[in-house]
Structure 1
Amino acid sequence: MVNQEPTGIVMLNLGGPRSLDEVEPFLRNLFLDREIIQLPVQERLGAFIAKRRAPKLRKLYEAIGGGSPLYDWTARQGQGMAERLDVLCPETAPHRFYLAFRYTDPTSEQALRRMAADGVRRAVAFAQYPQYSCTTTGSSLNELWRTARRLALAESFEWSVIDRWSAHPAFVRAMAAKVREGLARFDEAVRDDVVLLFSAHSLPRRVIDRGDPYLQEVAATVHDVMCSIGGDHEYALSFQADVGPVAWQGPSTESVIRALGAQGRRHVLIVGIIFTTDHLDTLSEIDMEFAEVAREAGVTDFRRAPAPNDDPVFLDALAEVVADHLHGERGCSRQFSLRCAGCTNAQCREILNPARPHRQPPLHRTEPVPGVGRQPALPGSR
């Protein structure tokens, strides 16, 4: 039997400026977000930092075509996912996707209003970050719940959450397929000598020290993908997009590329292991900046595994992740209910008006946790 009310799938992401005019507003929204960064006199200082950084960032976006393609790729992914879900889960069809970005349109408010107008009752908050971090999935969920309350829509939808999916077999298969596709671009005579360099967005060390699970989940994805592709390629994990005067999770991707060159490694395939679409981190930082670093370091054959974007295998994976969630008994992952050791956010790990039983874990700390402090902004997917 087909469901008469549409099921809403809210695809959460940080977003990215789609034009050069949107760059400064994007940065301003980022630096005014106290959940991600806390500054003295935040309104003034955040706006100042955004204005100061905007010209440099505009140049980077101009070099990749004038804006971020994140919106277009995510919309294509949502469409392909929804079409597949109607076949996989006819009992919850029709399925409609809604984009909810933190710092650009469409916002959580726009997504919620559209859902209400479409008559959605059952909703799934689907984080587009396969690996969980409080700076990405956690903050996006918190913004979604705050917005629903502000719009008096707290009781309008019954929610469940896909908070992490990096270990899902379909996702691992899709990423492994991209690694194989990247390897196929090397001459067969040197293919066995290619070093696989998995690169992920870095996090400030203080976030990791607080207990954020991102690091172990990224490493687990790398392990699963390597098991899936087989063979015995040498590989490494590194971290990119570390900016600002704070300690970041390392080693940096740039330093690893230079080290590989110094070791005489000439064939490197870089894999954006957390990036499900092309955006600034792939098109600018990897394809331009790191490619130049590789040339300087003597890496003569430097290539990137393609991002999943709208590859049918990846669209299948998105649909399978949601279908398994809809058919399952849980309203979130088992791990979602475990707070970080240094958690200080009372809203953390909440599910608003849950469709399935969910008990938000209490916030209880009697003494300070070493390494916990204010954290800088995380650029995230752009």
Structure 2
Amino acid sequence: MEKVAIVLLNLGGPDSPQAVRPFLENLFTDPAILRVPGFIRPWLGKFIAWRREKPAQENYAIIGGRSPLLELTVAQGQALEGALAGEEGREYRCFVAMRYWHPFSDEAARQVKEWGATRVLLLPLYPQYSTTTTGSSQTAWDEAAAKIGLSVPSQTLCCWHSDDDFAAATAAMVRESLRQAQASLAPGQKLRVLFSAHGLPETIVKQGDPYQWQVEQTVAAVVKALDEPGLDHVVCYQSRVTPQKWIGPSTEAEIERAAAGKVALLVCPIAFVSEHSETLVELDVEYREIADHKGVPGYFRVPAQNSDAAFIASLAGLARRTLAAERPLCSFRGGRQCPKTHTDCPHAKVRAA
């Protein structure tokens, strides 16, 4: 019996008000996030965390003082185990490795080793690859596995931004929300879909990170699967946290533009597959308040996938195809998908090595 450990890589979130500060310190001292000389990073990262603690505490207080991300990710893993169950000669178990709060990669690696896994599949719950998310999580996992001597055949699914099944599952959720929004609006009221993704500093993208290109590919695939002729839609970016220039347009700017044009909005979180503070607070509370204040004639949101059956089925398909490909590094279509200009694509790094 082959024992396949599927390690779900995710961001993580504080599990109590007391965890907010150390969570932020872990985030802002990550070299993939704060790209400054190493001798400055610990001090600057802790300073940024100190500056952001109060607003973060206020945000988490809105949703009960903690992030729901761990419970939702565990539920996704249980659902994925169920979708993969029954395959002859192979047993699957899902493990969770969070990047900035418990369970960290070292905890997950120890559990994988104790279970006696004969094969490991790293499956990031970030559809789009970025050095700041999947790349950072991969590094943390590699270090944790090496530290405890976990040495079994391992594969990484680097991205699945425009996988057909993922796009179809997401489109179905958008379609349902679109119908509900249209039903509550006055006849003839214009409605625009904002596909909102977490932003990145522009410098990271210019250095070769493929994230923005992959986000755009996701939106194109979902819109194609929606098959709504003339759909008014925009790709935009949220969650700016530093004063430097970030990729755009910003979600807030698009809300203001919709208000000026008297266009209602349906916001779809396109880079998040679980509810957490960026959806439950930033989209549902902060941006809704802006929309109401500016006079947007209607503001609606598509829910995150969580354990939606079609979404979980798409993850199961991705897992099976990746394992069948037997490539150490695999995209949802096997080989590299990013244009060569994106030099931080992990496939480019493998060839360079």
Name 1:74's counterpart in structure 2.
Answer: 73
Name 2:316's counterpart in structure 1.
Answer: 319
Partners in 2 of 1:60 and 1:7 — Cα distance?
Answer: 38
Q: 1:190 to 1:330 in 2, by over 3 A?
A: farther
Letter in 2 for 1:360: V
- Please report how far the alpha carbon of residue 191 of structure 1 lies from its aligned counterpart in structure 2 after TM superposition: 7.9
Letter in 2 for 1:120: A
Partners in 2 of 1:336 and 1:140 — Cα distance?
Answer: 20
Q: 1:82 to 1:261 in 2, by over 3 A?
A: same
Partners in 2 of 1:272 and 1:289 — Cα distance?
Answer: 14
Partners in 2 of 1:222 and 1:135 — Cα distance?
Answer: 20
Q: 1:291 to 1:359 in 2, by over 3 A?
A: closer
Name 2:157's counterpart in structure 1.
Answer: 162
Letter in 1 for 2:259: G
Query: SS at the partner of 2:271?
Result: coil
Instruction: Please give the TM-score of this superposition, normalised by the length of structure 1.
Output: 0.85
Query: SS at the partner of 2:197?
Result: strand
- Please report how far the alpha carbon of residue 169 of structure 1 lies from its aligned counterpart in structure 2 after TM superposition: 1.1
Partners in 1 of 2:120 and 2:227 — Cα distance?
Answer: 38
Give the one of 131, 134, 140 matched to 1:137: 134
Q: 1:145 to 1:337 in 2, by over 3 A?
A: farther
Name 2:174's counterpart in structure 1.
Answer: 179
Name 1:203's counterpart in structure 2.
Answer: 200
Structure 2 gap ranges (5+): none
Partners in 2 of 1:159 and 1:191 — Cα distance?
Answer: 54
Paired residues for 1:223-372 under 5 Å? 223-231=220-228, 232-265=230-263, 267-331=264-328, 332-333=330-331, 334-335=335-336, 349=346, 360-362=350-352
Name 2:84's counterpart in structure 1.
Answer: 85
Name 2:51's counterpart in structure 1.
Answer: 52
Contact 1:5 1:119 in 2 (8 A): no
Q: How many residues align?
A: 344
Contact 1:130 1:164 in 2 (8 A): yes
- Please report how far the alpha carbon of residue 217 of structure 1 lies from its aligned counterpart in structure 2 after TM superposition: 0.9
- Please report how far the alpha carbon of residue 52 of structure 1 lies from its aligned counterpart in structure 2 after TM superposition: 2.9
Q: 1:339 to 1:147 in 2, by over 3 A?
A: farther
Contact 2:262 2:297 in 1 (8 A): no
Alignment of 1:110 with 2:100, yes or no, is: no
Letter in 2 for 1:125: L
Name 2:146's counterpart in structure 1.
Answer: 149
- Please report how far the alpha carbon of residue 59 of structure 1 lies from its aligned counterpart in structure 2 after TM superposition: 0.9
Partners in 1 of 2:173 and 2:81 — Cα distance?
Answer: 22
- Please report how far the alpha carbon of residue 177 of structure 1 lies from its aligned counterpart in structure 2 after TM superposition: 1.1
Query: SS at the partner of 2:350?
Result: coil
What percent identity do the matched residue pairs reach?
36
Instruction: Please give the TM-score of this superposition, normalised by the length of structure 2.
Output: 0.91
Q: 1:191 to 1:271 in 2, by over 3 A?
A: farther
Query: SS at the partner of 1:135?
Result: coil
Partners in 2 of 1:205 and 1:183 — Cα distance?
Answer: 31
Name 1:27's counterpart in structure 2.
Answer: 24
Name 1:11's counterpart in structure 2.
Answer: 8
Q: Deviations over 1:2-59 (max 9, x none)?
A: xx24210001112111211110110111122223213543333322332232122111
Which shows bigger deviation, 12-21 or 40-49? 40-49
Query: SS at the partner of 2:120?
Result: strand
CA RMSD, 1 decimal: 2.2
Query: SS at the partner of 1:185?
Result: helix
